Structure 1
């Protein structure tokens, strides 16, 4: 029998930490330590290495994103899964850019949380930042190719995930939308970019600096 995954748990609410601890321990995941803010998390990690860090995004003082950036700056590559109650389309992208491997809402199903932790512990990355400059440097479009309409913030977020190779199902999961809703967004995006091909739409969006 393999040893249980050992994680660090950071959240400013003691009741939330207790609930997550009980939930995860029932699923065979061990809590190495708890922290109530980012600063405490960083201090404890220096003494107690773990396989995965599970952290709230919004915490007083040093929040989850700030702690993540500080962690990466000091060379610590421990996988980080961020949790939040805020359904904001830019948060998954901010999390990826800061160096997180995963992002979930706190009302995610328990099995989804346990699966995400297991995947991160196994070395997988659920969120990946997209580098657009190499593509932009190679291709150019003329003014006639400009989008028919402006893109909403959520459409831009979906375009960036398309650029990362995400399927509609994966985008739906990352952005907490129904798969059918994502399909509708993608259809609108393709129409605005005057193309029916996802790959060409991404290429065009990058070169036109939509993303």
Structure 2
């Protein structure tokens, strides 16, 4: 079964280049393309893609807003954002919006394919954010690796949290009771010494736990 991609970039040349690259990859098909987020949202309703690959900076509905809106209507649909800017703030915004991947446009074709397949498989692959930037914005008490490690189940739940899933959606995805998921999330927050899900995800990404 092919992996169906929806593609958005306001630069036609970049969009055509990405399409050509994706066509050469086994089992990957571009089923929708647009020059902006609003247009792509409309196409997603009729094309049912498995993953969205979008530029982060576009006129109108940009990649961040596109990701937020998809989180409301299609929380199961992973988004990878691309940018020409090496900006830690953009990475943080992408994570907050629910993006599952964040890459610079100078990434190699091999790296892009690897990230697409990993994100489609449920992983979160965001460009590392320096702990200095995270601490300045979110005031973590420290950036030490938690003393207590994380179980495979907790890592799985952290990745779903990074994708913007609610406790109920996580429960349905991994076949657990919603109350059990809530307990896992509480344990994760305690281990990471964070008070909410967004900070937990950002700290986990910063420390490369996910």
Q: TM-score, normalised by structure 1?
A: 0.61
**CA distance 1:107–1:59, shift in 2 (3 Å):** same
1:143 alignment counterpart: none
> What does 1:64-79 align with in structure 2 at a 5 Å threshold?
64-79=63-78
The residue that corresponds to 1:121 in the other structure is: 120
Q: Which residue of the partner structure matches residue 38 of structure 1?
A: 37
The Cα offsets for residues 152-175 of structure 1, whole Å up to 9 and x where unpaired, read as: 537748x97x6798xxxxxxxxxx
Unaligned regions of 5+ residues in structure 2, if any? Answer: 147-191, 204-210
User: Secondary structure of 2:18's match?
Assistant: helix
Partner SS for 2:122: coil
Aligned mate of 2:13, from 6, 15, 20: 15
Q: Is the partner of 1:78 in helix, strand or coil? A: coil
Q: 4+ residue stretches of structure 1 with deviation over 6 A?
A: none
Q: Give the superposition deviation at 1:91.
A: 1.3
Q: Is the CA contact 2:103–2:126 (under 8 Å) kept in the aligned structure 1?
A: no
TM-score calculated relative to the size of structure 2: 0.61
Displacement of 1:66 in angstroms is 0.6
2:11 and 2:86 mapped to 1: Cα distance? Answer: 19
- Matched pairs, number: 146
Matches within 5 A, 1:1-211: 3-28=1-26, 29-127=28-126, 153=133, 156=136
Identify the residue that residue 190 of structure 1 maps to in structure 2: none
Cα separation, 2, equivalents of 1:37 and 1:103: 18
Alpha-carbon RMSD: 3.2
Q: Is the 8 A contact 2:81 2:102 kept in 1?
A: yes
* Unmatched segments (≥5 aa) in structure 1: 129-150, 166-201
